[in-house]
């Protein structure tokens, strides 16, 4: 059972829900992003991921990457290099990059659709070009003209790749504890020394050069996170000589085994400052925000792939008879898709995946608007939504991607637990997405600690205004009452946090994870109401795709009936406060 890109579902969100074929071409720079062009690109992306990328997934997991301690080099699994070359030669590494540096200048949203397909087909392989996008964004925002002119064309073409070097053995989230040093040199460069761990794509054989973006501290840097600078450290220098940035080994991981996760040792490696001294976190967060949305898309992609395999299995696997009586009397048993509990697991996957796709694509379209609109107010409103929803997209989509893979494995029983089927790999691969680029607990803290109160709470007020405006204009929309009730619960939770979390940070920390999930469920319910309204309008208009649109309405109803009720429990958990959570002493655990 091979992956098949869900093109019709993608087009439904892109064009019918979000009107991307109207909104995007109206933005300066995206005039060529017509529906015909976007469809052609998406269709070609489907062909590439289905026929070239997906066949490398299972073999790459079995083989993994290979480290040679003598040359300190890494070889990716067989077939990865050839598949990556086709990916790069097709222009996929630079789809949304600026034209002046060799990119295609297409919307981020279109690139996100391609990323989803790539992550469904082979998450490990998709990570190599994925982080390069972040390096490109950091250089565009903070690099000098000379740095941009030299590095960007090669990164955008896929000839070179990029990394993010943050974590060290003694520190992860608390980057103020880093020890990597950068000593100024007479020629304006810096000698960078230190060890970084868990570096995706730190060493590999897919590209001619690797550009490391490294967080380090200058000799006179202030203590803590205020003393961090960002440096560009290439594997090979401009004269072709080898820089002293070497892989010290590969991590032995649960999943994503085709992705080279490296220990990187910088031994007075030559590097160049990006941006201003001691302001490296500001530049690095350009990469981090891009990467967090990308990781959310990874969860979506894995969830979709898992759903497809378990759905097809459920239609074929014969086991017992339907509780309502035989449904396939000419066979020895009925296919398991007739059983209510199997349908529960399938519909949980389908409803969350389709709802998450709407949330993710909406957020990325707001990113396009925030960066390209010529209307200052429109840019501000869009950026507010991007800032607010980025931690939600990262955390909720990766949680649900893992849950979908887990449900798919459970649905398949013993078959799912074997390597004869891809579900066990999907479960292992999906698990990391909830951890890297900021754990989902960190995303929740970001939402309640930073994003909720940003600009005096303007973003969250605009979110509630968007929901209320839709409900006011579409009082008869499907599930309108349930969406209104969920929004009221979320507003109540928001007020509780404002009243209790501002004065007691432990209260905010205790409420953060359930609050993010409540926020996500409310948002996805809102998008399901919008999607079901579109579907109903199509049915009322006499569409020839009645099965497709009826499926949308019925799937949305499942989300409203059987997933959204979690909102009640989440609100109760938030309002219970921190007391029972913080009561035990460390010794009592």
* d(C-alpha 221, C-alpha 216), whole Å: 10
Q: Which residues of 560-581 are buried (b: 16+ CB within 10 A; e: fewer)?
A: beebbeebeebbebbeebbeee
Residue 162 β-bridge partners: 211
Q: How far is CA 538 from CA 200, 257, 470, 555, 557, in A?
A: 45, 44, 19, 16, 17
The tokens of 67 are what?
A: 């480290």
Of 136, 529, 115, nearest in space to 299 by CA: 115
Cβ-based neighbours of 559, under 8 Å, separated by 6 or more? 351, 352, 355, 524, 525, 528
* d(C-alpha 171, C-alpha 166), whole Å: 9
* d(C-alpha 158, C-alpha 525), whole Å: 39
Q: Residue 1's pLDDT is what?
A: 65
φ and ψ of 311, to 5 deg: -65, -50
Q: Is 479 left (phi over 0), alpha (psi -120 to 50) or beta?
A: left
Catalytic residue among 54, 115, 354, 437: 437
Q: Which regions of the chain are under pLDDT 70?
A: 1
The dihedral formed by the CA atoms of 114, 118, 124 and 126, expressed in degrees to the nearest 10: -30
DSSP state letter for 222: P
Q: Is the sign of the CA dihedral 530, 309, 408, 394 positive or negative?
A: negative
Q: Which helix H or strand E contains 190, and what residues bound it?
A: strand 190-200
Residue 437 known to be catalytic: yes
Of 538, 522, 531, 537, nearest in space to 553 by CA: 531
* d(C-alpha 289, C-alpha 485), whole Å: 31
DSSP state letter for 208: S
Rg (CA), the chain: 24
pTM of structure:
0.97
Place of tokens 């720079």: 29
Q: Which helix H or strand E contains 274, and what residues bound it?
A: strand 261-274
Rounded mean pLDDT of the chain? 96
């Amino acid at each position: 059972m091979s992956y098949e890109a869900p093109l019709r579902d993608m087009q439904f969100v892109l064009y019918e829900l979000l009107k991307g074929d109207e909104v995007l071409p109206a933005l300066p720079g995206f005039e060529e992003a017509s529906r015909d062009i976007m469809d052609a690109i998406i269709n070609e992306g489907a062909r590439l991921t289905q026929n070239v990328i997906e066949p490398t997934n299972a073999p790459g997991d079995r083989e993994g990457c290979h480290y040679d301690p003598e040359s300190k080099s890494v070889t990716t699994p067989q077939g990865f290099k050839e598949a990556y070359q086709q990916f790069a030669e097709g222009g996929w590494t630079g789809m949304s990059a600026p034209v002046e540096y060799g990119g295609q200048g297409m919307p981020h949203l279109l690139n996100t659709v391609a990323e989803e397909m790539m992550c469904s087909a082979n998450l490990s392989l998709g990570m190599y070009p994925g982080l390069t996008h972040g390096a490109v964004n950091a250089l565009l925002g903070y690099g000098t003209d000379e740095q941009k002119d030299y590095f960007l064309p090669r990164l955008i073409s896929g000839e070179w790749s990029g990394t993010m070097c943050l974590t060290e053995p003694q520190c992860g989230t608390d980057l103020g504890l880093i020890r990597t040093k950068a000593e100024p040199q007479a020629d304006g460069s810096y000698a960078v020394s230190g060890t970084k761990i868990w570096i995706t794509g730190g060493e590999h054989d897919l590209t001619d050069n690797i550009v490391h973006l490294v967080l380090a501290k200058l000799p006179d840097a202030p203590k803590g996170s205020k003393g961090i600078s960002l440096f560009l450290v290439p594997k090979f220098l401009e004269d072709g000589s080898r820089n002293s940035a070497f892989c010290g080994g590969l991590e032995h991981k649960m999943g994503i085994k085709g992705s080279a996760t490296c220990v990187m040792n910088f031994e007075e490696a030559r590097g160049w400052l990006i941006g201003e001294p001691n302001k490296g976190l500001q530049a690095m967060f350009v990469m981090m925000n891009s990467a967090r949305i990308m990781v959310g898309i990874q969860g979506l992609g894995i969830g979709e792939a898992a759903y497809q395999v378990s759905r097809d299995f459920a239609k074929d696997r014969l086991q017992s008879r339907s509780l309502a009586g035989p449904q396939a009397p000419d066979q020895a048993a009925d296919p398991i898709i007739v059983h209510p509990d199997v349908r529960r697991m399938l519909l949980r996957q389908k409803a969350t995946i389709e709802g998450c796709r709407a949330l993710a694509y909406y957020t990325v379209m707001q990113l396009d608007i925030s960066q390209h609109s010529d209307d200052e107010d429109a840019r501000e409103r869009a950026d507010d939504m991007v800032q607010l929803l980025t931690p939600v997209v990262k955390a909720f989509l990766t949680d649900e991607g893992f849950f979908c893979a887990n449900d798919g494995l459970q649905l398949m029983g013993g078959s799912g637990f074997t390597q004869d089927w891809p579900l066990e790999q999907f479960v292992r691969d999906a698990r990391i997405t909830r951890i890297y680029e900021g754990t989902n607990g960190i995303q929740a803290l970001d939402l309640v600690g930073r994003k909720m109160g940003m600009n005096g709470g303007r973003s969250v007020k605009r979110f509630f205004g968007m929901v209320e405006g839709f409900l006011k204009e579409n009082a008869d929309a499907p599930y309108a009452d349930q969406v209104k009730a969920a929004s009221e619960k979320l507003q109540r939770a928001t007020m509780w946090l404002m009243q209790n979390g501002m004065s007691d940070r432990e209260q905010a920390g205790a409420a953060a994870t359930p609050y993010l999930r409540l926020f996500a469920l409310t948002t996805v319910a809102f998008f399901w109401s919008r999607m079901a309204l579109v579907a109903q309008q199509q049915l009322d208009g006499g569409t020839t795709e009645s099965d497709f649109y009826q499926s949308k309405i019925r799937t949305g109803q499942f989300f409203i009936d059987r997933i959204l009720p979690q909102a009640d429990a989440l609100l109760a958990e938030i309002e219970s406060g921190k007391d029972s959570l913080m009561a035990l002493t460390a010794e009592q655990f």
